[in-house]
Amino acid sequence: MRTAAAFSGPGRLLTAALCAVAIVSMVVTTNAGSAGIVPPRNPSSDLWAVPSYSVVNGQLYTVGGAVPACWAWGSTGRLVAQGTAPLCVANAVLATDRAQHTEGLRSFALPRNFAHLSVPEQLLVLVDIERVSRGESPVLGVSARANVFAQIGARRNADPVLPATSGIADTTGAWSSNYAGAVNTLDANYEWMYTDGWDGKSTANYDCTGPRAPGCWGHRDNILEDASRMACNESACSIVMGAGYVNLGAGDGYNSYTELFAQISGAVPALYYTWDQAVSAGARA
C-alpha cells in the first residue's frame, strides 16, 4: 500500500485539546452516487450547526442566561456540558440532518436503541450514515481489538495508532484515525464532517490554517475514505473500526473521542456490532 504523509494538529478552538489525524491510504469498493460530496472533493467552507446546539468559540454568554442545548450553568457559574440531555441530542441530530440536506442527501434515521449503544457503536452508526448516504460502502462493524488501540488514543487526547502487530485478522497495514474533544458522539461527528475546513475566520481544525492548507478536511476524508483513487492490492478489501472514549469530567465540558479505521482483506475478523445490526434496529442513511 502507498502511505500518505501523516499530519497532526486539528482541534476545537474553544479548548486546549488537539484533534489530530493520521492518514494512511486504504480502500474499499465504492459506488458513490451523484448526491453528496465525497473525496477528493470537499465542502467549500465550514457549515456551522443550525440549530446551534453547542457553545460558539468567541461568543460571550451571560452567566445564568440562555445557552445552547448541550450546555447549562453550573453552581459555580461555569458552563457544564450536558451531552445526553434530550434537547441536546435532538438539536445535534437536526443540525446533522440539515448539513446533509445541503449536499442533496435525504433525511437519515438513527437506530431506535441509539441512546443505549456504547460510544464505539454510536460512532459506527454515524460513520456509516455519512458513508452510505453518499453511495459509499459501509464500514463493516466494530472490532473489540481495534477498540483497544482507539482507547489508548482517547486517554492521550490524541490520534490512535494501529500497530503492525494489532492482532486484527487480515489487516493490510492501511489505517487512519481521528480524535476530537466533544460533548457527545454526534458533536464529534459534526466536527469531523462539517467544521473541519476553512470559513475565512474560524475553524474547529487546528491544521486548517487557510483555505488551501493541507490539513483541511482531513478528518472528513478519513470517514469518507477515498476508495476511487486507490487500488486494493488484494482480491477484495473492506474496513472495520474501533473507537475510544474518555469522560474528562466537568472541566470545560469536552470529552475525548477517537476513531480508528483499519483496512482488511479476506475473511472478516470478529465484530461485535455491525452496520447490519444498526439497520435492523431502524438506522437509515
High-pLDDT (> 90) share of the chain, %: 64
> Is residue 97 one of the residues assigned to a domain?
no
Cell matching residue 261: 479505521
> Is residue 221 one of the residues assigned to a domain?
yes
Measured distance CA(11)–CA(202) in Å, rounded: 12
Predicted confidence band of residue 7 (pLDDT cuts 50, 70, 90) = very low
> Is residue 179 one of the residues assigned to a domain?
yes
Transcribe 130-156 into DSSP letters: HHHHTTBPPP-EE-HHHHHHHHHHHHH
- CB distance 258 to 154 below 8 Å: yes
Q: Can you list the alpha helix ranges (DSSP code H) found in 142-215?
A: 144-156, 185-194
Strand locations in the chain, DSSP E? 21-23, 71-73, 79-81, 141-142, 171-182, 237-246, 255-265, 273-274
Domain holding 111, by residue range, is 21-49+107-280
> Is residue 2 one of the residues assigned to a domain?
no
92-96, 113-117, 147-151, 210-214: least confidently modelled range: 210-214
Query: How many distinct structural domains can be found in the chain?
Result: 1
Q: Is the pLDDT of residue 134 over 60?
A: yes
Q: Is the pLDDT of residue 70 over 50?
A: yes
Instruction: Name, in order, each residue with C-beta under 8 angstroms of 116's C-beta and a sequence gap of 6 or more.
Output: none
> Is residue 238 one of the residues assigned to a domain?
yes
> Is residue 79 one of the residues assigned to a domain?
no
Predicted confidence band of residue 226 (pLDDT cuts 50, 70, 90) = low
CATH code of the domain containing 152: 3.40.33
> Is residue 171 one of the residues assigned to a domain?
yes
Amino acid at 57: N
Predicted confidence band of residue 251 (pLDDT cuts 50, 70, 90) = low
Q: Model pTM? A: 0.88
- Average pLDDT value over all residues in the chain: 84
| Angle between helices 86-101 and 185-194 in degrees, nearest 10 | 20
> Is residue 93 one of the residues assigned to a domain?
no
User: How many other β-carbons are positioned within 10 Å of the β-carbon of residue 9?
Assistant: 16
Q: Is the pLDDT of residue 83 over 80?
A: yes
